[in-house]
Amino acid sequence: MMQVLPIQSCATTQDSAVSGKLIVLTGPSGVGKGTLMRSLLQRHPELYYSVSATTRRPRPGEIEGKNYYFISRSKFEQLASQGEFLESAEFAGNYYGTPREAVLRQVQSGHLVVLEIELKGARQIRASFPEALSIFILPPSFAELERRIRGRGQDSEEAIARRLQRAHEEIEAANEFDIQIVNDDFETALNAIEAAVFGK
């Protein structure tokens, strides 16, 4: 059983209530970030979710422009070399990146902008936007994380192994971020994110 951290808050929690802010949600693959994000957006349609670009193939049901912009590796490399990404990283054999212009435009016009990204990208955002609110989502245990990745049923054995290997490294970095939230009971975790984002 991995060590489970309690929910913590920090000085930036109140600042996050100020409009025009970048919020970073990170944590290992399969921990529930996407599911939490979808529920958060349903409750708060005023949040702007940044749709990332990726070279990963779409999973069944994923929609171009809604879940991701699905692009080729050569296109990704071209955009990256033109500085079009606010952050980018390779994860489990694919590239992922946050479109720079759309995010900056939304923040500058006063919106709360949410990024759901992996560790390396989250570190890049922390370095370039120290005022961003960063939230790390933890699983209740490593065994449960594996169950969730397998339960999702959308990754090959090889991809699952890569994601689990990476998860160990990611979880060790949890304390680098402003707030840690354990996604055990879904509603509790969602409420904790909401409180952090809106300072409730």
Residues that bind ligand 5GP (CB under 6 A): 29, 33, 52, 56, 87, 89, 91, 96-98, 116-118, 120-121
Q: Which residue is nearest to ligand 5GP (CB)?
A: 121
Residue count, binding to ligand ADP (CB under 6 A): 12
Whole-angstrom distance, CA of residue 153 vs CA of residue 116 = 21
Whole-angstrom distance, CA of residue 37 vs CA of residue 44 = 10
Q: Which of 13, 21, 23, 30 binds ligand ADP (CB under 6 A)?
A: 30
Q: What is the full DSSP assignment across the chain? A: ----PPP---THHHHTTSSSEEEEEE--TTSSHHHHHHHHHHH-TTSEEPPEEESSPPPTT--BTTTEEE--HHHHHHHHHTT-EEEEEEETTEEEEEEHHHHHHHHHTT-EEEEE--HHHHHHHHHH-TTSEEEEEE-S-HHHHHHHHHHHT-S-HHHHHHHHHHHHHHHHTGGGSSEEEE-SSHHHHHHHHHHHHHT-
Does 183 engage in binding with ligand ADP (CB under 6 A)?
yes
Which stretch in 25-33, 60-68, 101-109, 191-199 sits in contact with ligand ADP by CB under 6 A?
25-33
Give which of ligand ADP, ligand 5GP, none residue 96 binds (C-beta under 5 to 8 Å, depending on kind).
Answer: ligand 5GP
Q: How far is the CB of 5 from ligand 5GP (least distance, A)?
A: 19
Give which of ligand 5GP, ligand ADP, none residue 32 binds (C-beta under 5 to 8 Å, depending on kind).
Answer: ligand ADP
Q: How far is the CB of 52 from ligand 5GP (least distance, A)?
A: 3
**109 or 154: whose CB is closer to ligand ADP?**
154
Whole-angstrom distance, CA of residue 29 vs CA of residue 192 = 19
**11 or 65: whose CB is closer to ligand 5GP?**
65
Q: Which of 33, 120, 123, 126 binds ligand ADP (CB under 6 A)?
A: 33
**37 or 192: whose CB is closer to ligand 5GP?**
37
Residue 171 φ/ψ, nearest 5 degrees: -65, -35
Residues that bind ligand ADP (CB under 6 A): 29-35, 148, 151-152, 183, 186
